[in-house]
Structure 1
Amino acid sequence: MATSSTSPKPSVGILSIGDMGVGIARLLRHHGYEVYTVGAGRSQHTLNRIKSAQIKALDTDEALVAESDIILSIVPPRDAVATAQRAHQACHSHTAIKRRQERTGLGRKLTYVDLNAVSPRTTRAIGALFSTPSNHLPTSPRLQGIRRSFSFHRADSESEQPELQPVGVDFLDGGIIGGPPSLREDQTWKRPSIVLSGPRHSEVLPSDFTELLNVRVVGDTIGAASALKACFASLSKGMIALSILSFTTAHQAGVLPALEEHLREFNPGALAAAKSGLTGMPPKAYRWVDEMRQINETFVEEGGFGKDVLGETHGVFDGIAEVYKLIADDTVLGEERVESRKRGTEVSDVVECIGDGIKAKKRKVAGDNWRRNWS
């Protein structure tokens, strides 16, 4: 792909349109890029987002592959594998192949950038998917553990046709550090850092595109960007999890005001970070469950902090994943949306909701145990 500023802007497909996806879409649209996504099967809430951001909604994955020069995968970690499988299958569709050839000519590759918060091991397996003709991921127990049933939005069944060469894919590893892009009052953009790694990155992504998205290349190998993202997120989201444990326990013990008083005097930075993290966390907790598990895998696989080194305590971030799972599944905080906050905007309400969730979870577990013992 040409990198000259005089070349036509590449068309960009985004899967999917969550808070980060719509922020990046708005940034790209503001600067004249065509942005596509798949609208079929999405909620009315998401369809409204798509319309408000002036994104073109397509009916199938095949159409997205055909119309996009670059696809950005920005989904919850639990969906990263299934989303890659969707794109991979669409690249083998006769409909997509023919339409893409009409639009770009023969041999034009698609660039697929995985920007999800997954481990280097998962990223490498996804990358391997695009380099093999198989419709299945390489065998991996861990991948099987995070795969999620996904509803494919495919074109109608194609009749028997001569074999066509699948759409070629250049795969890049990425991660997003920071919040979604947003337009400031002075009409400049606040942007996160998009870290990127992989071969031929400078050849397959135009320089204007990477500058606009604030891309920072951290290596030529698949997995480097994912490792950096995991290490960064472990500090920020790990600290929020510790704040959940600390502040909720202080509330339950009746010493929360005293905890805040002592933090204000002896560690004001920690108090400010804890308050911001606790009140900002609720709408995102469900996304962080699998991200914490992927971080744990990164620490084991890349850092060497496995069972042979740390014993049975090696799954520290697997435990943190359960903290966020409690928030998402067993408290009213899990129902929050970024655009329409109702609960958890104050620390006192966050810990109150978590305390109620703990009680409800204990009652549920006790009831399940009673039923098992009775039977």
Structure 2
Amino acid sequence: MASRSFLRALSTTFSLRTQSATVTFPSGGLVLITVSSRSSTTLATLPPTPILNQARTLLTMPSPPTIAVIAPGAMGAAVASRFTKAGCTVLTTLEGRSPSTVDRAKKAGMEDASLGDIARRADWVLSIIPPSSATAFAEAFKKAYETSGGNPKLAFADCNAVSPDTVKSIARIFDGSPIRFVDASIIGGPPTDGYDPAFYASAAPEDEDALDAFVGLSAWGLRTIALKGEGAGVGDASGLKMAYAGISKGFIGLTATMILAANASSPATAQALMHELHASQPFILERITRSIPSMLPKAYRWVGEMEEISAFVRSGLGDGEAHVHEGFAHLYDRVEKALPEGEDVAVLKRFVEGAKATIHESGGSKSHKPQ
């Protein structure tokens, strides 16, 4: 816990016994600190020195919440690691998971628990799973909550890449339940020491306290942003994710589609495409050298995401426009089926390696203005 670590570092200045704790100062002053695992600590008036003011700030922080992160994939484990480093208890369920997933969860400091245990112990449940599994997990958790006597103050945040209609249907699963619901979306990749993705969140008016509490998770390592304003509610954070991913991952789908189509015409066509991109659109070619390799191991996840984006577009614009991302769903499914060394994957890898070599050999040559 940060406050205790700080106090241990200052052991030459004063000492602390946890629980009903006593802090003794060199001047002989005495102050009683109440330390509780479920409420804020309190600190009486201290001498107004900078170091003691810092101690007061740390000691009056809320106690770390217990957070369940389902599941410990690359994103979930990275988020969990943020929480555990901040002093939070992080739960997950590892039943039936692969050895590599179990190892990733342990490295992130996550504790294995059943859904029933999570329902009883957790203050928050963050669902971070493939979009195609989001509804089924919410239903399973609701059942576990009802049969295990869950925490009446628990809040559930769906952080998955699903359409507004899908997240609204997930929210309805918890109707009539004490569980508060937050629609959340993650913009960016897994958090690292030098990088913070954005967690946008929206909620129904009756769950605005849960929305504010979700934003408060910023105290434990997340970059959280409340999506409020005219008409904001459940579905809007997910709508933002659909629009953003429709551009970013849609662009990757577009480039991969054109590379494969060019190669299907002839390898010479693909080679010419690479050289023309280098000449007239060098930034696009450089992005391809990063985005295509990064996409390959995640293609299976992006199939469902493209389908959700298609539903989002169809709801707002109609059926014709929705076919764009349906096509990208087919593309990502095609790539997934070609892994690890199928022909389509080999074509994409050859294109990337050729592009890297061309960029390196030219020293990043200047582009001519496209017509």
| Counterpart for residue 22 of structure 2 | none
SS at match of 2:63: coil
| Counterpart for residue 119 of structure 1 | 163
Q: Per-residue displacement from partner, 1:153-179 (whole Å, max 9, x unpaired)? A: xxxxxxxxxxxxxxx211000111111
> Between Structure 1 and Structure 2, how many residues are aligned?
288
| Counterpart for residue 234 of structure 1 | 246
| Counterpart for residue 258 of structure 1 | 272
| Counterpart for residue 324 of structure 1 | 332
| Counterpart for residue 195 of structure 1 | 200
CA contact (8 A) 2:252 2:292 kept: yes
Q: Which amino acid aligns with 2:171?
A: G
Q: Which amino acid aligns with 1:213?
A: L
| Counterpart for residue 176 of structure 1 | 186
Q: What's the TM-score, normalizing by structure 1?
A: 0.71
C-alpha distance in 1, partners of 2:185/2:76?
13
Structure 2 CA distance for partners of 1:11 and 1:318, relative to 1, 3 Å:
same
Deviation at 1:74, TM superposition (A): 0.1
Deviation at 1:350, TM superposition (A): 6.9
Q: What's the TM-score, normalizing by structure 2?
A: 0.72
C-alpha distance in 2, partners of 1:82/1:52?
27
C-alpha distance in 2, partners of 1:30/1:256?
47
Q: Per-residue displacement from partner, 1:249-280 (whole Å, max 9, x unpaired)? A: 23332223322221122111111122211111
Q: Which amino acid aligns with 2:331?
A: V
C-alpha distance in 2, partners of 1:230/1:256?
30
C-alpha distance in 2, partners of 1:3/1:238?
45
Q: Is 1:212 the equivalent of 2:221?
A: yes
CA contact (8 A) 2:161 2:308 kept: yes
Deviation at 1:180, TM superposition (A): 0.2
Structure 2 CA distance for partners of 1:314 and 1:202, relative to 1, 3 Å:
closer
| Counterpart for residue 289 of structure 2 | 275
Q: Which amino acid aligns with 1:110?
A: L
C-alpha distance in 2, partners of 1:208/1:327?
37
Structure 2 CA distance for partners of 1:244 and 1:205, relative to 1, 3 Å:
closer
C-alpha distance in 1, partners of 2:39/2:258?
52
Structure 2 CA distance for partners of 1:2 and 1:215, relative to 1, 3 Å:
farther
Q: Per-residue displacement from partner, 1:57-98 (whole Å, max 9, x unpaired)? A: 11x2101111110000000001000110111111101x344x
Deviation at 1:181, TM superposition (A): 0.8
Structure 2 CA distance for partners of 1:61 and 1:216, relative to 1, 3 Å:
same
Whose relative contact order is higher, 1 or 2, with alpha carbons under 8 Å and at least 6 apart? Answer: 1
Unaligned runs of 5+ in 1: 101-107, 134-167, 184-188, 335-342, 353-375
SS at match of 1:117: coil
C-alpha distance in 2, partners of 1:210/1:316?
40
Q: Which amino acid aligns with 2:250?
A: G
| Counterpart for residue 337 of structure 1 | none
C-alpha distance in 1, partners of 2:222/2:346?
32
| Among candidates 114, 118, 125, match of residue 64 of structure 1 | 118
CA contact (8 A) 2:132 2:304 kept: yes
CA contact (8 A) 2:76 2:128 kept: yes
| Counterpart for residue 12 of structure 1 | 67
| Counterpart for residue 94 of structure 2 | 39
CA contact (8 A) 1:170 1:204 kept: no
1:92-131 aligned at under 5 Å gives the runs 92-93=146-147, 95-97=148-150, 100=151, 108-131=152-175
| Counterpart for residue 22 of structure 1 | 77
Structure 2 CA distance for partners of 1:351 and 1:306, relative to 1, 3 Å:
farther
Structure 2 CA distance for partners of 1:330 and 1:13, relative to 1, 3 Å:
same
CA contact (8 A) 2:124 2:154 kept: yes
Deviation at 1:211, TM superposition (A): 7.0
C-alpha distance in 2, partners of 1:231/1:275?
24
Overall identity of the aligned pairs, in %: 29
Structure 2 CA distance for partners of 1:47 and 1:172, relative to 1, 3 Å:
same
Deviation at 1:25, TM superposition (A): 0.6
Deviation at 1:224, TM superposition (A): 0.4
Deviation at 1:7, TM superposition (A): 1.8
Deviation at 1:53, TM superposition (A): 1.3
Unaligned runs of 5+ in 2: 1-37, 42-59, 355-371
| Counterpart for residue 47 of structure 2 | none
C-alpha distance in 1, partners of 2:75/2:269?
37
